[in-house]
Chain A
Amino acid sequence: MSTPTKLRAGTNSELTRLKALWRDTLSEDAKSYWQELFISPDVKQSQIRQQILTRLKINLRFDKQLNQFRDWELDQRDRDLQAERMLENERRLKTEHPDWSLDQVRAEVLRQSYLETLATGNFKLGLAARKSDIAEQALKFDRDKFEFDAAKAALKCAATLKLISNNKNLSEADKVNAARTKLFGELPK
Chain B
Amino acid sequence: MTKRHIAISQAILEAFHELDGGQAHEITIHADACKHFRNLIPKNEYDEVFETLNREGCFVGVPTKFKGTLWSMSPKGEQTRQEMR
Contact = CB atoms under 8 A, between A and B. Distances in A.
Q: Which of B25, B31, B34, B44 has the most CB of A within 10 A?
A: B31
Contact of B28 (A83, A105, A135): A83
Nearest to B42: A103
B35 A8 contact: no
B57 interface: no
Interface string A1-27: 110001111100000100110011000
Contacts of A125: 35
A2 B44 contact: no
Nearest to B38: A132
Interface string A65-78: 00000001001100
Interface stretch (A29-37, A49-57, A106-114, A173-181): A106-114
A83 B22 CA distance: 14
A113 B21 contact: no
Given A80-B67, A87-B27, A102-B43, A110 B21 contact: no
A83 B20 contact: no
A86 interface: yes
B30 A2 contact: no
Nearest to A9: B78
A9 B76 CA distance: 9
Nearest to B46: A106
A63 B31 CA distance: 32
Contacts of A103: 42-44
B52 to A, nearest CB: 18
Given A9-B77, A132-B35, 18 more contacts: A6-B20, A8-B78, A9-B21, A19-B22, A23-B23, A79-B22, A82-B31, A83-B24, A83-B68, A84-B67, A86-B28, A87-B25, A87-B68, A106-B27, A106-B43, A106-B46, A113-B31, A125-B35
Interface of A: 1-2, 6-10, 16, 19-20, 23-24, 72, 75-76, 79-80, 82-84, 86-87, 90, 102-103, 105-107, 109-110, 113-114, 125, 128-129, 131-132, 135-136, 139
11 contacts: A1-B18, A9-B21, A72-B21, A83-B24, A83-B28, A102-B43, A103-B42, A103-B44, A106-B46, A113-B31, A131-B38
Interface of B: 14, 17-25, 27-28, 30-31, 34-35, 37-40, 42-44, 46, 62, 67-68, 72-75, 77-79
Top 10 A-B pairs, shortest CB-CB distance:
A83-B25, A9-B78, A106-B43, A19-B21, A9-B75, A86-B27, A1-B18, A103-B43, A83-B28, A76-B22
